[in-house]
Structure 1
Amino acid sequence: HIQAAKDAVKQKTEDLQELKKNNSDKASIDNALEELNKAKAFLSKLEETTKLKPGLLQKDGKFDYSTDFFSRQAYLTVSGQFHVESFAHGLSSVYTFGPTFRPEISPSRRHLVEHWMVEPKIAFADLKDAMNCAEDLLKFLCQWLVDNCMDDMKFMENQFDKILFDRLRLVTSNSFERITYTEAVDILKKNVKFERTIEWGMDFNADQERFLVEEVFKKPMIVYNHPKQIKSFSMRLNDDEVTVASMDVLVPKVGVLMSGSQRVNQIALANETSRQSLR
């Protein structure tokens, strides 16, 4: 996120210099200067709040965990998805269910350090297949709750959410809107000003996610093709070489509920490495 903010400052600095070079009107220059100052202020704030660093090996041979994410030594399990990917080549469609750990800073309040997650794997599939699977699965689950857990759903409606059934029907009766990350950024920048300025390359926070799904499209949606620097290394790099084949499913009152991607094609990657070696 810091690198994306630095890139934004650099780009806005170049834009301002170009306007001055071309003797543009004062209003355009003042506007560009204001945008540059905002980007610098956001970068400064981001650098101040992002103080957690990995434990570093000290001269005496010991690690200093005082500034680490957990402030102490911690052991995290590896997600089962990496192991089950080998099964997918033989069984086509598989899934795991277990604990997942993510010890990194996130702008979203719903980004948990530890959570349990279902992780489906589909062999010989692309990003469109992954998005179709996610939409179908969520619709199936919502309809199953209505058909099989009516007493529980009525209890939840009476105690916690008066529009619960309306929200479930919103999922089951609509085709999910699908937009790229770049399109989502453009919408956020044009429609509303948040306390946290959004620039291309930054991850969305919960308020920005809910604005898209609740106020702009008013139904479940999928945001796909995110910048590679904010997503996992295991996601397929798109042909533009700056985004990856990723997707986030957003629903009202929550924000991101499901995430997924098209994984790196290991065979193609190995072949490309071999070709480069022969050159």
Structure 2
Amino acid sequence: MEQPVVALTVAGSDSGGGAGVQADLKAFAMCGVFGASVFTALTAQNTMGVKGIHAVPRDFVAAQLDAVLADLPVGAVKTGMLASASTVELVAEYAPRLPNLVVDPVLVASSGDRLFTDSVEQAYLTALFPHAAVITPNMREASVLTGREVSTVDDMRAAAERLGETGAKCVVVKGGHLSDSSAVDVVWRDGTVDLVEAPWVETRNNHGTGCTFAAVTAARLARGADPKSAIFGAKAYVHEAIRASADWRLGGGHGPLGWKPMP
């Protein structure tokens, strides 16, 4: 077995195992990448929802980053829930040491409620996004970040272009909340826009789709893929993962994705 490349997730935990660090490490493994982790928050959650969040102190997030970066040859980094403006700014300070940085700005709960204050959103826009190779907001997060309603593909396109002005090299606005027969994402890069689509899958098991998409994108970047190939490959992976668990009945709410090794 050849020596694997390394990807790092900087995110919160999910005690139910469907999202967060747990989902990221599973996705890394399925992509043939060795996963390391930095915890930014502990959550009490299951398929029914989040019951509580305990943020990890900034100094201990820094200690975890120092430990990993001092010892492992990290090839890509994915961020998830960073929990506070202070932690977003901390990750931005480390950004010059974080190659192929994929930022999934976890800002809005599945209920549509905003999780954090305006200061967190501003920290993403001004401190972290300028360092990102890829950012992956969903429609609700794109709406919060741009201050404009995002409900159509045209809205997604406008939001992606606007978020590209932050300095992020590539913007993916995910359309998982579109009411349509296909799941459409808008990809902005170098002033051009592509649409990436996959057939809609009827299932209640969609917990962790955003985490998995960003994690697979990071894993593929770590393995040397260009951003467009990494993003399109991540879209295909998530579609197959949703199909794999479409009929599962794990828990009483939104269950997790399935998985399969990716070449």
Q: Same fold (TM over 0.5)?
A: no
- Structure (1/2) with the larger helix percentage: 1
TM-score category of the 2 structures, normalised to the smaller one = under 0.3
Q: TM-score, normalised by structure 1?
A: 0.25
Q: TM-score, normalised by structure 2?
A: 0.26
- Structure (1/2) with the larger strand percentage: 2
